Amino acid sequence: MPQGRLLGVVEPVDEQLAGSKMALTSLLRTVWPGEFVDERDARFINDRVHANIQRDGTFSVVPQIKGGVTTPDQLRRLADVADKYRVPMVKITGGQRIDLLGVRKQDLPAVWADLDMPSGYAYVKSFRTVKTCVGTDYCRFGLGDSTGLGVAIEQRYQGLESPAKLDLAVAGCPRNCSEALVKDVGLVGVTVFAVSEEDGDVVVEL
């Protein structure tokens, strides 16, 4: 058990206590939004530099790629940054984003400036990604515009803080290629039939 004084600094601070900081921040902001003061210097290093600190002291940089949809220009910028700053690993994440691993702390401001992309909020307890399949745009099984909806959700809720990380997914059909059924919030496109009570014929198909 951590030892300390009431309203004082708790020493030593164990991992469980440190891990509750983001949840407490979210609770205080929700209960007392008018009185809450966001002290940036009191935040974790990850939140201050918009990157995840790694076991070797370098950082992981994850820009936002809404709905997993990117462009050739974004990919060229990511490749140029990886080359310029000698990023040792570039990895596709489970949330359909691209992770630059091994970035030095002193390079972080320049890396973000050169990327010119918003942060993917992979470093805080917040709404993170909306994983999508290609939906009705290309898939022959698609029943709903999963990509368009996923992008719209990310645009609407980007950076929304929560007590724990929040992952979403949108699947265009019950084949569930984006794994929507195992996310915190998942949406699945289905076909709905309305049947006539008189003769049992299908009168509406959505």
125-206 architecture in CATH?
Answer: 2-Layer Sandwich (3.30)
- What's the rounded Cα separation, in Å, for the pair 43 and 125? 12
- What's the rounded Cα separation, in Å, for the pair 171 and 142? 9
- pTM beyond 0.85: no
Residue type, 5: R
Q: Which regions of the chain are under pLDDT 70?
A: 1-23, 25-26, 38-46, 48, 123-124, 200, 202-206
Q: Looking at residue 4, what is its pLDDT?
A: 41
Q: Could you tell me the CATH superfamily of domain 44-123?
A: Sulfite Reductase Hemoprotein;Domain 2 (3.90.480.10)
Q: Domain ranges for the chain, please list them.
A: 1-38, 44-123, 125-206
Q: Looking at residue 89, what is its pLDDT?
A: 98
Q: Looking at residue 8, what is its pLDDT?
A: 43
Q: Looking at residue 26, what is its pLDDT?
A: 67
Is 81:87 a contact under the CB 8 Å cutoff?
Answer: yes
Q: Looking at residue 171, what is its pLDDT?
A: 97
State the distance between the two ends of the chain, measured CA to CA, in whole angstroms. 57
- Tens-place pLDDT, residues 147-176: 999 999 999 988 787 777 888 999 999 999
